[in-house]
Amino acid sequence: MESLTPVSLVHFYDVRSRRIACGVRGADLRSSKHPRQVTCEPCVALIGERPQLGAVPDEAGSAAGAAP
């Protein structure tokens, strides 16, 4: 059964660049630092192309498992 409520649009907030991954701007935007909560198709595509965007930074500030 399909959901009767429309899915709200959630963008991916890139903590390294301090902006929304797809580049959209505005005051009324919802965003998340967690890739699994993202529903914006362009943001999801960017995370798929660049998995380091969704990687959690370690204490030193570098992404875990990312190449130097």
Average pLDDT along the chain: 79
Q: With 90 as the cut, is the pLDDT of residue 54 above it?
A: no
pLDDT value of residue 30: 92
Range(s) of the domain holding residue 35? 10-54
The answer as to whether 60 is a domain residue is no
SS3 31: strand
Order of strands across the sheet that contains 19-20: 19-20, 10-14, 30-32
The answer as to whether 5 is a domain residue is no
The answer as to whether 4 is a domain residue is no
pTM, two decimals, is 0.67
| For range 30-53, the mean pLDDT | 90
Task: Provide the domain count of the chain.
Answer: 1
| Interval 13-28: pLDDT, tens | 998 889 999 999 887 8
Instruction: Give the whole-number percent of the chain exceeding pLDDT 90.
Output: 43
pLDDT value of residue 57: 60
